[in-house]
Structure 1
Amino acid sequence: MRGYEQSASSWVYDELRQRIVNLIYKPGQEIGIQSLAEDFGVSRSPVRDALLRLGRDRLVDIFPQKGTRVAYLDRDIIMQERFLRAAVETRVLDAYMDRQCTVAQWDMSLSRLQADIVLQQTALSSGDVETFLQYDIDFHVIFYEDAGLERIGKVVQAHTGNEHRARLLNAKDTKENRDCIMAEHQAIMDAIRKKDKAEVKALLEVHLGRLTGQLDYLEKAYPDFFRK
């Protein structure tokens, strides 16, 4: 039974996390253990365990004897998660550009990056912002994978759920924001193709720093989503 509960808890955690980071469950939304248990067709115990994990991720706020709600977006938490991602990804990009590989391996990596950009554009053309952002994530994951650092990439993703929510909110806000992300990805891709490491790093710094400059606007545009 305990093994079942652990398995069910992991499944519920993954499902709830996806709903939260993809803004299906909005910041500040109340979520009850009983209703979630009925929704997922499990007992209350796996749901309770999943919520405790999400609380440690700072994605839900748990109030003993009162209830649970989706955590409001918190500027300080977003900035810390963005700092983590930028610090790690800059080093990962160093490893990616400096790695020893054959011409065929280099070309394959470029093909993967370009194919992902095409998928991003397809998602944007159909108005599917959530899928676009997933391909945005996949674009960056390629750096980790092809540098042999995919485990680090998974760790970063596991600890940047609030940054993901802010990125999605920003991407959903205007077509201009989405087009800008696309243009930056293509510029990074072009610099990689030229093997210009300095330009790649400079472009990545601008790309990863863009959300920071948008937070003031997002807080004003979506005041109900942010912690007061």
Structure 2
Amino acid sequence: MNLPTGPGIIGDLRARILSLDLPPGAPLSRADLSARYGISSTPLRDALLRLQDEGLVQIHPHARTSVSRIDLDLARQTHFLRSAVEVEIAAKLAARPPAGLADELWQLIDMQAVEAAEDRLKAFGTLDQAFHDALFRHAGLMQVQRMIRRESIHIDRLRALHLMQPEKARQILSDHRSIAQAIGKGDPAGAAQAMRQHLSQSILFGERLTAQDPQYFTSAAR
């Protein structure tokens, strides 16, 4: 198997953390990581420091390292920003739907339905992100999207936890259909409401989950 090297290690660890392959609070053994990636302690330390700067890893005294827990307050703040932007985008696109957007959205929805039926949640999640990326792209706001993505580590992990719930994939599909239908019909108010409803679910789920699985969250969130 070809393992990532250099900067690719950071990307691989980031992806594993955001997908919950490495869950919140999980210890990170430096010896195990060095063996997995075939690197010495210095490049591994640099990679962990970079991930700590991103808020994904916590390096504790005496070299103990763990995956950072989810900060629900920061997730709420990111959600506030993302919701304000995406609700406005949905309304803007519905007011004047760009050529090709409706077909692209429905194609992504159809692909998501296949992945959901086969219980391939990782692929489903990738297509979920692609749906929202398409809206930013057609609105000409990809730089805004990149800014939001940089601040989304906590809400992304909340969404990954939520996606593990049996009903969540079905709800996402239903929400995406409502958004696509409203945009296709040229209904700005309907598109905005559908997007607002869609984006509200993971934060509500996070508030419930702090009581059910407190080990995933910071003490402040609990």
Instruction: State the TM-score bracket (shorter-chain normalisation).
Output: 0.7 to 0.9
- In structure 1, distance between residues paired with 2:63 and 2:110: 47
Given residue 15 of structure 2, which amino acid in structure 1 is its aligned partner? Q
For residue 94 of structure 1, report the CA deviation from its aligned partner: 4.8
Q: Per the alignment, do residues 45 and 8 of structure 1 end up closer, same or farther by CA in structure 2, a change over 3 Å counting?
A: farther
Unaligned runs of 5+ in 2: none
Distance 1:130 1:193, change over 3 A: same
User: C-alpha distance in 2, partners of 1:133/1:201?
Assistant: 22
Equivalence for 1:36 = 33
Q: C-alpha displacement at 1:96, in angstroms?
A: 3.6
Instruction: Provide the TM-score with structure 1 as the length reference.
Output: 0.86
Higher alpha-carbon deviation: 126-135 or 15-24: 126-135
Deviations, residues 117-165 of structure 1 (Å, cap 9, x unaligned): 0111111101111221111111000011122222322332222121111
TM-score (norm 2): 0.88
Residue 62 (str. 1) matches residue 59 (str. 2): yes
Q: Are 2:57 and 2:66, in contact at CA under 8 Å, matched by a contact in 1? A: yes
Equivalent residue number for residue 216 of structure 1: 207
Q: Alpha carbons of 1:219 and 1:10: their partners in 2 closer, same or farther (altered >3 Å)?
A: same
1:194 Cα shift?
0.3
Is residue 2:162 matched to residue 1:162? Answer: no
CA distance in 2, matches of 1:9, 1:208: 35
Name which of structure 1's ranges 136-145 and 149-158 shifts more when overlaid on structure 2. Answer: 149-158
209-218 or 164-173, larger mean C-alpha shift: 209-218
Q: Does structure 1 residue 185 correspond to structure 2 residue 182?
A: no
How many pairs does the alignment contain?
Answer: 216
What is the CA distance between 1:115 and its match in structure 2?
0.7
Q: Which deviates more from structure 2 when the two are superposed, residues 16-25 or residues 216-225?
A: 216-225
Q: CA deviation at 1:202?
A: 1.2
Q: Which runs of 4+ in 1 moved over 4 A?
A: none
Structure 1 stretches lacking a partner, 5+ long: 1-6
Structure 2 equivalent of residue 82 of structure 1: 79
With CA pairs under 8 Å and 6+ residues apart, which has the higher RCO, 1 or 2?
2
SS in 1 for 2:140: coil
- C-alpha distance in 2, partners of 1:34/1:177? 37
Residues 62-102 of structure 1, C-alpha deviations (whole Å, 9 max, x = no match): 11323110011221122122223223323443554456x8x
1:9 Cα deviation from its structure 2 partner: 4.4
**Equivalent position to 1:151, from 139, 143, 164:** 143
**Structure 2 partner of 1:4:** none
Residue 17 of structure 2, aligned match among 12, 20, 27? 20
Report sequence identity in percent: 28
AA partner of residue 158 (structure 2): A
Provide the aligned C-alpha RMSD in A. 2.1
Q: Choose between structure 1 and 2: higher helix proportion.
A: 1
